[in-house]
Amino acid sequence: MSEQTPEMDDLLRIVPTARYGDDAGEGRGGALHLSSVLPAVSDAIGHATATRVHHDPQALRGALGLPEARAAIVVLVDGLGYWNLAMRLGHAPYLRSLMRDGANRRPICTCAPSTTVAAMATFGTGTCPGVTGMAGYTQLEPASGRLMQLIQFKDALAPAPAPGTTRRQGAPAEPIVDPHLLQREPTVFERLAAQGVPVTSVGLAKFKGSPLTEAALRGGRYVSAVTPNDRVRAAARAAREPGLVYLYIRDADKVGHNHGWDSEQWVGTFERIDAQLALLRREAPKGTLIVVVADHGMVTADPAQRIDLAAEPELTQDVRMVGGEPRALMLYTGTDVDPADVAVRWRARLGERALVRTKREAIGDGLFGPVDECVETMLGDVIVQAGAQVTLVDSRTQSDKATRLPSVHGSQTMLEMDIPCLIDIA
Ligand SMILES: [Zn+2]
Determine the 3-state secondary structure of 289 from DSSP: strand
Q: Is residue 192 located within the same domain as residue 105?
A: yes
Ligand 1 mean position to 116 CA, how many Å? 4
Ligand 1 mean position to 201 CA, how many Å? 17
In tens, the pLDDT along 333-345 reads 988 999 999 999 9
Q: Is residue 316 located within the same domain as residue 341?
A: yes
| C-alpha separations of 94 from 192, 376, 424 in Å | 30, 43, 11
Instruction: Output the CA angle 410-388-299, nearest 5 degrees.
Output: 50
- Check pLDDT > 80 for residue 167: no
Ligand 1 mean position to 253 CA, how many Å? 6
Q: Is residue 246 located within the same domain as residue 107?
A: yes
In tens, the pLDDT along 137-160 reads 999 999 999 999 999 999 887 755
Decide if 316 is inside a domain: yes
Ligand 1 mean position to 138 CA, how many Å? 14
First to last CA, the chain: 24
Ligand 1 mean position to 331 CA, how many Å? 22
| CA atoms of 41 and 74, how far apart (whole Å) | 8
Ligand 1 mean position to 343 CA, how many Å? 28
Residue 79 makes CB contacts below 8 A (sequence gap 6+) with 252, 253, 254, 256, 257, 261, 294, 295, 296, 297, 298, 409
Q: Is residue 252 located within the same domain as residue 333?
A: no
Tell me: cis bond preceding 326? Omega within 30 of 0 counts.
no
Residue 6 makes CB contacts below 8 A (sequence gap 6+) with 83, 414
Q: What count of Cα atoms within 13 Å lies in the side-chain half-sphere of residue 405? A: 24
Ligand 1 mean position to 181 CA, how many Å? 23
Ligand 1 mean position to 326 CA, how many Å? 14
Ligand 1 mean position to 337 CA, how many Å? 34
Q: Is residue 232 located within the same domain as residue 329?
A: no
Ligand 1 mean position to 335 CA, how many Å? 33
Q: Please, what is the angle between helix 116-125 and helix 37-44, to 10°?
A: 30
Ligand 1 mean position to 244 CA, how many Å? 22
CB–CB of 67/284 below 8 Å? no
Ligand 1 mean position to 200 CA, how many Å? 21
Taking Cα atoms as reference points, which of 296, 85, 37 lies closest to residue 188?
37
Q: Which residues surround ligand 1, an ion (CB under 5 A)?
A: 78-79, 116, 253, 295
Ligand 1 mean position to 17 CA, how many Å? 20
Decide if 271 is inside a domain: yes
| CA atoms of 327 and 187, how far apart (whole Å) | 27
Ligand 1 mean position to 119 CA, how many Å? 8
| CATH code for position 364 | 3.30.1360.180
At 146, which helix (H) or strand (E)?
A: strand 146-149
Ligand 1 mean position to 232 CA, how many Å? 19
Ligand 1 mean position to 368 CA, how many Å? 18
Give the pLDDT mean for 298-309: 97
CB–CB of 368/259 below 8 Å? no
For residue 329, what are the domain limits? 303-406
In tens, the pLDDT along 179-235 reads 999 999 999 999 999 999 999 999 999 999 999 999 999 999 999 999 999 999 999
Give the range among 10-14, 171-175, 203-207, 213-217 with minimum mean pLDDT: 171-175
Q: Is residue 125 located within the same domain as residue 192?
A: yes
Ligand 1 mean position to 295 CA, how many Å? 5
- Check pLDDT > 90 for residue 170: no
% of the chain surpassing 70 pLDDT: 96
Q: Which amino acid is at 362?
A: A
Ligand 1 mean position to 319 CA, how many Å? 27
Ligand 1 mean position to 296 CA, how many Å? 6
Decide if 70 is inside a domain: yes
Residue 173 makes CB contacts below 8 A (sequence gap 6+) with 152, 154, 155, 158, 167
Q: Record the pTM.
A: 0.95
In tens, the pLDDT along 234-259 reads 999 999 999 999 999 999 999 999 99
| CA atoms of 220 and 212, how far apart (whole Å) | 15
Q: Is residue 220 located within the same domain as residue 329?
A: no
Ligand 1 mean position to 327 CA, how many Å? 13
Output phi, psi for 19, to 5 deg: -100, 145
Taking Cα atoms as reference points, which of 410, 414, 212 lies closest to residue 325?
410
In tens, the pLDDT along 19-74 reads 999 998 889 999 999 999 999 999 999 999 999 999 999 999 999 999 999 999 99
Ligand 1 mean position to 283 CA, how many Å? 26
Ligand 1 mean position to 324 CA, how many Å? 14
Output phi, psi for 77, to 5 deg: -100, 110
| CA atoms of 359 and 363, how far apart (whole Å) | 6
| CA atoms of 249 and 145, how far apart (whole Å) | 34
Q: Is residue 115 located within the same domain as residue 88?
A: yes
Ligand 1 mean position to 5 CA, how many Å? 22
Total tally of structural domains belonging to the chain: 2
pLDDT given at position 2: 47
| CATH code for position 233 | 3.40.720.10
Q: Sign of torsion, CA 36 29 361 323?
A: positive
Q: Is residue 217 located within the same domain as residue 124?
A: yes
